[in-house]
Amino acid sequence: MKPVQIEDRYDITVEADFVARVPMPVVTVIPNNVDLEPFELGYEDTIVFNMTNHGLIRAHNLSLEMPKEHPFLQFEDHPDLGSLEAETSIVVSVKVSRKPGNARTKRWVRVVLFVAKTIYSVREKNNLCL
């Protein structure tokens, strides 16, 4: 056996694609239902909502829209709450006032306001709207 003086050369290229599957923001609102009778009778004037983002990314364009057509009450809107960072919470107070001239008495039926419990964002825009 005789050694040969031929040099071996190789070009090696490594290509890697990184794919991340990040879950969308998951925003919950507590309480998810509110008994409006104390507000209609004038015993209370504020609803306090705790909004939590359980997801791993920020929720953008958060808003809280209240009913506009209630027969006895007016609700303060919060059209732009901004962003809610991942794994954080905010507290939103909603001022409730009675409409003038529409006083409710005990003989009316109880009305309950339901708020969506879990909201998922639109994938392309990450928008949330309650």
- The token pair at 107 is 């003989």
What's the confidence (pLDDT) of residue 106?
54
- Continuous H helices in the chain: 37-40
What's the confidence (pLDDT) of residue 120?
42
Name residue 92's amino acid: V
User: pLDDT tens digits for 9-38?
Assistant: 888 888 888 887 777 899 999 998 888 888
| pTM score of the predicted model | 0.64
CA distance 86 to 59: 7
